[in-house]
Amino acid sequence: EAQVTQNPRYLITVTGKKLTVTCSQNMNHEYMSWYRQDPGLGLRQIYYSMNVEVTDKGDVPEGYKVSRKEKRNFPLILESPSPNQTSLYFCASRSRLAGSTYNEQFFGPGTRLTVL
Which chain residues interact with other proteins by CB under 8 A?
Answer: 31, 33, 35, 40-45, 48, 50, 56, 58-59, 90, 92, 97, 100-102, 104-105, 107-110
Distance CA 89, CA 8 (A): 11
Minimum Å gap between C-beta 19 and other proteins is 21
Query: Which has the closest alpha carbon to 93: 80, 104, 84?
Result: 104
If you ran DSSP here, which 8-state letter would residue 41 be given? T
Please, what is the minimum distance in Å from the beta carbon of residue 102 to other proteins? 4
**Integer Cα distance of 4 and 92 in angstroms:** 7
The C-alpha atoms of residue 8 and residue 15 are separated, in whole angstroms, by: 18
**Proportion of the chain in helix, strand, coil states, percent, rounded to 5:** 5, 50, 45
**Which is closer to other proteins, CB of 58 or CB of 63?**
58
Q: What is the nearest approach in angstroms of other proteins to the Cβ of residue 82?
A: 23
Shortest approach of other proteins to residue 70 CB, angstroms? 19
Residue number with CB closer to other proteins (42 or 69):
42
Nearer residue to other proteins within complex by CB, 56 or 79: 56
Residue closer to other proteins, measured from CB, 69 or 101: 101
